[in-house]
Structure 1
Amino acid sequence: MKSLVLEEKMKLSLRDFPIEKEEVLGPHDVRIKLHTVGICGSDVHYYTHGGIGVFQVKAPMILGHEASGIVIEKGSAVTGLEPGDRVCMEPGIPDPLSRATRLGLYNVDPAVRFWATPPVHGVLRPTVVHPAAFTFKIPDNVSFAEAAMVEPLAVGVHAATKAQVKPGDIALVIGAGPIGLVTALSALAAGCARVFVSDVDDTKLELAASLGAVTPINVARQDLVQEIHKATDGWGVEIVFECSGSPKAAEGVFDPLCPAGRVVFIGSQTHDIHYSVGKAMVREARVEHVFRYAHVFPRCVAMLASGAIDVRPLITRKFAFDDSVEAFEIAASAPKGEVKMQIELPQ
């Protein structure tokens, strides 16, 4: 089947790629025809760097893990899903017998198999076989494009859950990329009265400001801590979500934080950062970390269906499947103002 294949660092191709093993339909699986696939920062990083940390591309690999589609076949033991159902898919499949999974922490199961994470192939291809337990039906009022946003949205919802947002909290989201903006939306939906979003891209900050009770801060010309203290009478924010992956930003997470506040690290750090234990201690700050998500896909689908969260403004560009290589080249150039790019497959 024709797929978008990362041949090696900085080399992509659209070509036939046999993956017979993954295409065997088991009794608890469904076969899905892909419709829309989002381009994630991790996909782009594999393209530009050939790997992320311990995950290194050592053989040609199909990219893509943010996806929606239509069920076209189901296994003999599947209930609740039928051919023709519109669905989105959680891309990580844990070992059901692992200790982490049995404890409900399946996202940190060391044996999890995650689409487009070496050596597991992704879904920029016509069809995929996936466990029905990790496939979620989407209602008629949720588009395929919105459904493909459930995967990144799940990160934001998981982060808001880890932060234990309380009604009326004020939060700061550092970084106005896709994950930063879905985190801002999730924080507002969870009960935050106000969310500050910081970045250096005015176009992204304008988009952030349009999402609700969001105050943008351009850190290229504004002092982040001064702006936060001025707006909060010197108290600070209850929650800081670090979504930028910037070492400098990560080093300063405690400065705008109020006493007994919470910090959630979401952005990936490629190198160790300096961590001020003293600043954390005097605030009795609680620090959390996010690795993907767990148990939140149904919540995300429900919020999209109800209108509690609207991800449509975050989808800034779409490409045809035949233009996938160009799409990744554009994404790798990090054009200003672009948030989420998606690829639509032939139907």
Structure 2
Amino acid sequence: MKALVLERKGELKLRDIDLPLDVGVDDVKIAIDTVGVCGSDVHYYTHGAIGSFVVREPMVLGHEAAGTVTEVGAGVKHLRVGDRVCMEPGVPNMSSRASKLGIYNVDPDVRFWATPPVHGVLTPSVVHPAAFTYKLPDNVSFAEGAMVEPFAVGLQAATRAKITPGDVAVVIGCGPIGIMTALAALAGGCSKVLVSDLSAPKLNIAGQYSGITPVNIKETSLLDAISSVTDGWGADIVFEASGSPRAHQGIFDLLRPGGALVLVGLPVEPVAFDVPASIFKEARIETVFRYANNYDRAVNLIASGKVDLKPLITETFAFNDSIAAFERAAKGLPEDVKLQIRVSE
């Protein structure tokens, strides 16, 4: 079966590869339609590793996916052949202590698509547990279905923030996850969300949404923008979604006393953390790793029309142009938010 294979750091090939397609009693087989290009996929391509996850042998990329069910296992009751679905890419050990606590996203044994040594889904067909496969409503396209995975990260962040209706939030970083965190915060009850970045094109996209105020920190102090909106009190919630160590400098100045700092972005360099500043404001600090128990809620929010992710899809590439899609993503063009690959003909 043809797939987009990361042979080693910096080398991609679109070639045939043997992948297991046996359908177990609780599994479904899915014909892949659309796959999003994620920053982690690109990082494996350009760096060959993310932390302790190192590409040591060829690996199929892709984990943001939607498609059509083509076969169901004998024990599957909620899905049928022909159903349009999206898939949660992390499969935990359901008997683990983490899973029993409801935090299966941090199960040490979780198998996550396109995370070494687990293959991803940039290939025409995959087999996946039905329990982590979700039917798409008729008004949700495959392209939107493939956006559920990154939106679930934003929804996890909004959930961890424990939003109170009317809260004012700030999102640092206007990449795909930053914008989706802002949209999730609005859906969760925030009255307004300020989103900061250096990229004018991305801020212009974020600013199209009602309730989001873009702040270009080349031109405006984020602290001044927050002070203006909150009469100097500070934001109720600050979401750090850039992963930049510089963003952590003075971050507690943005927060009101007793507010929440939610860490979403993953720095690749050490971060100086101002413990006294966090204590003086008795800040609540939350962290986000992927998502748990919110994939179906993400689908429902998109279907309701309260969250529109379509403006975030910059371009869709044909499967045969997958390598070009990754080369484009690796450039990090300021006008690009989300690139997708259409696997089906």
Following the alignment from structure 1 to structure 2, what is the Cα–Cα distance between the partners of residues 80 and 253?
45
Q: Which amino acid aligns with 1:342?
A: Q
Instruction: Say whether 1:168 aligns with 2:166.
Output: yes
Following the alignment from structure 1 to structure 2, what is the Cα–Cα distance between the partners of residues 127 and 172?
40
Matches within 5 A, 1:173-252: 173-252=171-250
SS at match of 2:317: strand
1:282 to 280, 283, 297: 280
Following the alignment from structure 2 to structure 1, what is the Cα–Cα distance between the partners of residues 343 and 184?
28
Residue 7 (structure 2) aligns with: 7
Tell me by how many angstroms 1:97 deviates.
Answer: 1.0
1:108 to 106, 117, 124: 106
Residue 42 (structure 1) aligns with: 40
Q: Which amino acid aligns with 2:243?
A: G
Superposed CA deviations along residues 88-134 of structure 1, whole A, max 9, x for unmatched, are 00000000111101111100000000000000000000000000000
Following the alignment from structure 1 to structure 2, what is the Cα–Cα distance between the partners of residues 7 and 212?
43
Instruction: Say whether 1:84 aligns with 2:97.
Output: no
SS at match of 2:251: coil
Tell me by how many angstroms 1:230 deviates.
Answer: 2.2
Percent of pairs with identical residues: 57
Residue 263 (structure 1) aligns with: 261
Instruction: Say whether 1:332 aligns with 2:330.
Output: yes
Tell me by how many angstroms 1:66 deviates.
Answer: 0.3
Tell me by how many angstroms 1:19 deviates.
Answer: 1.6
Tell me by how many angstroms 1:220 deviates.
Answer: 1.7
Further displaced range: 96-105 or 220-229? 220-229
SS at match of 1:254: helix
Tell me by how many angstroms 1:225 deviates.
Answer: 1.1
Following the alignment from structure 1 to structure 2, what is the Cα–Cα distance between the partners of residues 60 and 216?
41
Which consecutive aligned stretches of 4+ in structure 1 deviate over 6 angstroms post-superposition? none
SS at match of 2:344: coil
Following the alignment from structure 2 to structure 1, what is the Cα–Cα distance between the partners of residues 245 and 330?
20
Residue 17 (structure 1) aligns with: 17
Following the alignment from structure 1 to structure 2, what is the Cα–Cα distance between the partners of residues 251 and 301?
35
Task: State the TM-score, normalized to the length of structure 2.
Answer: 0.99
Tell me by how many angstroms 1:252 deviates.
Answer: 2.9
Following the alignment from structure 1 to structure 2, what is the Cα–Cα distance between the partners of residues 128 and 81?
15
* Consecutive unaligned residues in structure 2, runs of 5 or more: none
Following the alignment from structure 1 to structure 2, what is the Cα–Cα distance between the partners of residues 251 and 128?
44
- Cα pair 2:169 2:237 within 8 Å, conserved: yes
- Cα pair 2:34 2:344 within 8 Å, conserved: no
Superposed CA deviations along residues 245-290 of structure 1, whole A, max 9, x for unmatched, are 1000023321110010000000111122110011111111000000
Following the alignment from structure 1 to structure 2, what is the Cα–Cα distance between the partners of residues 319 and 247?
33
Following the alignment from structure 1 to structure 2, what is the Cα–Cα distance between the partners of residues 272 and 104?
30
Task: State the TM-score, normalized to the length of structure 1.
Answer: 0.98
Superposed CA deviations along residues 127-181 of structure 1, whole A, max 9, x for unmatched, are 0000000000011100000010000000011100000011100000000100000
Following the alignment from structure 1 to structure 2, what is the Cα–Cα distance between the partners of residues 2 and 242?
38
Tell me by how many angstroms 1:337 deviates.
Answer: 1.2
Matches within 5 A, 1:290-305: 290-305=288-303
Following the alignment from structure 1 to structure 2, what is the Cα–Cα distance between the partners of residues 110 and 220?
40
Q: Which amino acid aligns with 2:124?
A: P
Tell me by how many angstroms 1:293 deviates.
Answer: 0.2
Tell me by how many angstroms 1:315 deviates.
Answer: 0.7
Aligned residue pairs total 345
